[in-house]
Each structure stands twice: as C-alpha cells, then as structure tokens.
Structure 1
Amino acid sequence: MPATLPPAPAVNNTYSYGVRAGDTLHIAGMVAFAADGSIVGEGDITAQVDQALRNMAEVVAAAGGSMDDIVATTTYLVDVADAPVVSAARARWFTGPVKPTHTVAGVAALGRPQFLVEIEATAYLG
C-alpha cells in the first residue's frame, strides 16, 4: 500500500491497490485520488487521467517496478469521447520501447460520480 494513496477506499471496499502473484502484479482500477483521499481534477479529464496514472506508478514502484513493467491496461471512461486525452497521457507515462496493450470501455458510471476515468493494469516484474 503506497503511502501516497489513501488507505480508506481500499479498506472500506475490501481490496488491495496491487497484488503480486509471482512475477505478475495485478493493479486495481486507479482513479484520481490524492493521498489525503480528495479527488483531483473534478470535471477535468486530463487532470484525472494524469492522477490515475501517477497512482498506478506509485503502486508499481511499491512492488519494485516501474511504468515500463506495465504490460496491459484497461481504461473505463464515462465519456468515450475522452479517449484521445487518455492516449495523450499514455504517451507521456509509457515511454519504454514496448507499450502496454490498451482496452477502452465506455461505462455509465464509476465508483463515485466525480470520477471520469478508471485505469486498471497488469505488470510483469520478472
């Protein structure tokens, strides 16, 4: 559990931000939580995507990896018209020679009405 992520959402909803099974790290859907539990970028998809990816980087780092170790992502968007914003953010965050796979799904809602995006991932830490 990275210190930069709020513990309450995971504790209250009975999940882990990341679970390592052998060389595979399964990362829960990351949203725009700040360390204090507040929501970053309410109404701002660019800020929310960057915060979600920042949180993902913290989970991977806590497991001893980096964003270059991410092999697959699934992005859930309340408005699929925001997909280009996600693609631009991915270009900033995934800079290694091999980019992770990417699936985008449009959803009616996420865990809180303020969330515009949620991104889950799998990393290989071998």
Structure 2
Amino acid sequence: MKIAIFENEYEAAVKTPFEAVNIIYFNNQLEVTNFVSSQDIGDFSKIFDFKLVFVDIHLSRRSELDGFDIAKKIIELGYPKEQIVVLTGHLGIEKKIAEKGLPNLKVVTKPIFLDKLRNAIKVN
C-alpha cells in the first residue's frame, strides 16, 4: 500500500513509528513517501497514486500550504476524505479541523503510538 506523508519533521518524529508498524503489522508491504512541503509533490493530482495520506498540520515555513490547506486541496480534487489522516501533536485538533471547514477527519497524535497508527492504516 502506498502512503503519502506531508511532514517536515519526518526523520525526527515519524519515520521510526511508520517503519515499526510496517515491519510488525504489514509484512513490509507499506511504501511510504514523505513530502517536507506542499510543493514537494508537484502536481497534486499525483495524490491519487496513494491509498492513504497523512498530513501534519504545521509544516515548515518554506511550505506554501499548511496541512489544513493540503487536506482541503486534495478533497477538492476528489480524494476520499476517509483516506486522509491528520498527524499532529496538538490536542483539541478536531475543533480546529471543523473551524477550517474540513469534514471530520481521522487523527493520529504525536507522539505516535503503534496501535493507533496501525488502526489508522488498517481501516484503509
């Protein structure tokens, strides 16, 4: 399964849990691609190459779009909202998601617990 992650701190906070979940629960069948900024993907229609998308809300300053804007953009393109997972260290993110006019999205909080990550991936 191909997974896209928009995360500017991938090496520091996200890579290890994704690698562990891949080995332990998915027999190394996950193919993860990280995008540090919104412009790293280039043409956003490429998002349809991925079965699941994780978006960190706060990306680096060099990112033209934050995670909310990325989620909005890919939903507008027709990407299924059920396949978008917000990746964040912020509590109360559900309220912020609603305030930004986004649908109810799945959330995985940082620090990342393997069972929560597995569940977010397994549903898809």
TM-score (norm. length: structure 1): 0.38
Counting helix residues as a fraction of each chain, which structure ranks higher?
2
TM-score (norm. length: structure 2): 0.38
Counting strand residues as a fraction of each chain, which structure ranks higher?
1
